[in-house]
Amino acid sequence: NSNLGLCLFRTKKFREAVPYLQRAVELDPQNPYYHIRLSDALLRTKDRKGSDDHLRTALVLKPDDAFIQTNLGWHLRGRGRRIEANETFREALRLNPRNRAAKIGLGIPLARRAGLIDALFRFSFMIFWMPHRRVLIVLQWLTLFAFLLLASPYVDPSQGQIVAAFFLIWVTYYSLAGQVVKIIGKRRGVHFK
């Protein structure tokens, strides 16, 4: 069951993989790796609650595994629970001081040779995961509104252009920050959804 579920998962058939992985967990509930695989599959099918539950179960079964700690840290970070995520990343680094994904999660520079790209990644990560993401969403709507005002014949174009330019810069950077986080993170071994 686990192997068939894993094969389906690797071919990106996540919904089909879930029942097989659930069956594998039912047959051997003490195997932390089955819980990790099921957690990954559930995350890909947008079931974050189930994914977190199985990841925490895997962590209970194998508390000294830095990989599980790091995955849980990224789950928590994705749900906006930054303080818990940082504690989890620190624990992962305590277990494995060379854990690159945990260092990225904490914003620790990875290497001197990757300085500029790493700095761009950290700054983009900070913008993309900042607690004020709702503000940026409002800015996107204001940008749309500003462009609609520019099309209006009753508004002075110079005023509208200044407002639109400001909002356009933020929205563009926010969109690019998301792509930078995904691309550079993937090269560093951290996969974002």
Per-residue pLDDT tens for 51-67?
Answer: 888 888 998 999 888 88
Number of independent structural domains in the chain:
2
Residue 38's CATH number: 1.25.40.10
pLDDT digits (tens, 9 = 90+) for 103-139: 878 876 555 445 666 666 666 766 666 555 666 667 6
73 domain-assigned:
yes
Query: Are the C-beta atoms of residues 86 and 72 closer than 8 Å to each other?
Result: no
Question: Within a domain: residue 34?
Answer: yes
| Pair 158, 76 in one domain | no
Report yes or no on whether pTM surpasses 0.85.
no
* Residue 191, in any domain of the structure: no
- Left if phi > 0, otherwise alpha if psi is -120 to 50, otherwise beta: which for 62? beta
Residues 70 and 147 in one domain: no
Higher pLDDT, 9 or 87: 87
Boundaries of domain holding 167? 115-185
The pLDDT assigned to 80 comes to: 78
* Boundary-marking domain end, from 112, 135, 163: 112
Cα separations in angstroms, 161 against 126, 142, 154, 158, 165: 28, 13, 14, 5, 6
